[in-house]
Amino acid sequence: MIPKEVLQKVRRIEIRTRSIVESILSGEYQSVFKGRGMEFSEVRTYTEGDDVRSIDWNVTARMGQPYVKKHVEERELTVMLVVDASSSGHFGSVSRFKDEVAVELCALLAFSAIKNNDRVGLIIFTSDVEKYIPPKKGKNHVLRVIRELLYFRPAKPGTDVGAAIEFLNRVITKKSVVFLVSDFLTWGFEVPLRVASHRHDFVAISITDPREKELPDVGLIELSDPETGEAMLVDSRDKDLRRAFSSETQRRSRDLSALFRANGIDEIPISTEADYVEPLVKFFRKREKMYR
């Protein structure tokens, strides 16, 4: 049985995200994400001006007059949400934890997808892939996806982004829209990322918290790694230490963005201190301009 408080939270997220989809994101989503191409619809008689390359010679021979193939855009998409559930996500210094933001973002994207009759699937990973929900359509399916994200309790604390992408490459063979949601605090996923970026329309959503970028000047503090359990005591009054910490986080961010650009992957940076709708809208509008 799913606890009542989880169902209530699912309902609150549904109300909030559906409202945003209806008022802001629906048109943006549809204009940006296209179908896989053209699919055969029917044949019709040839008329002057038709492309002779579209003539169906088998039907033409049978009917004794020229017929052409008619195609329509294959609008239906598969949207895969690949979500990092490692222990580093259970952190936030403002109003929400990173993993809470991730759930709401995924709900927003999932409701945008089903409004356009697309399929939605889910991969939840830590150092292993711990949950896989094959893509399907419909509101009930999306509510299940959201429940899983809220109710899920990871078995392992670590992160292996590469293993998650390799699993995606194995189970999803047709081109899909993939949203990889993580704080990207680990490396070693460059090769599977490159493979996936050639197969899919790949979008990276990086979620960060202000305290991961700069140390506050508050004296002695204990820093701990939630994934390994390692801890160390530091004196945050040390200006050189704070400067080095900030410099290192900026370098990691630049390297990560460079990796995504090198593979033709769009990145949507999200912070726990700001609303996530604006960065999504900005991304959609940027994409729309590119496709015009």
Domains parsed from the chain with CATH numbers: 4-32+78-291 (3.40.50.410), 37-74 (no CATH)
For range 36-41, the mean pLDDT? 47
Tell me: pLDDT of 141 over 90.
Answer: yes
Tell me: pLDDT of 38 over 80.
Answer: no
What pLDDT is stored for residue 262 in this prediction? Answer: 97
Residue 213 near residue 272, CB atoms below 8 Å: no
What pLDDT is stored for residue 2 in this prediction? Answer: 58
Higher pLDDT, 196 or 285: 196
Tell me: pLDDT of 41 over 70.
Answer: no
Label residue 173 exposed, middle or buried (CB < 10 Å: 0-12, 13-18, 19+): exposed
For range 169-197, the mean pLDDT? 94
To which H or E segment does residue 112 belong?
Answer: helix 98-115
Residue pointed to by tokens 């998409």: 77
What percentage of the chain exceeds 70 in pLDDT?
91
Higher pLDDT, 286 or 208: 208
Q: How many angstroms separate the CA atoms of 57 and 195, rounded?
A: 38
To which H or E segment does residue 99 belong?
Answer: helix 98-115
pLDDT digits (tens, 9 = 90+) for 215-247: 888 888 887 777 787 888 888 888 998 899 899
Tell me: pLDDT of 153 over 80.
Answer: yes
**23: DSSP letter:** I
In the three-class reduction of DSSP (H, G, I as helix; E, B as strand; rest coil), residue 126 is classed as coil
Residue 157 near residue 115, CB atoms below 8 Å: no
Tell me: pLDDT of 117 over 80.
Answer: yes
Tell me: pLDDT of 73 over 60.
Answer: no
Q: Which of 39-48, 59-68, 191-200 has the lowest mean pLDDT?
A: 39-48
DSSP labels for 242-289?
HHHHHHHHHHHHHHHHHHHHHTT-EEEEEETTS-SHHHHHHHHHHHHH
pLDDT band per the 50, 70, 90 thresholds, residue 34: low
Determine phi and psi for 42, rounding to 5 degrees: -165, 175
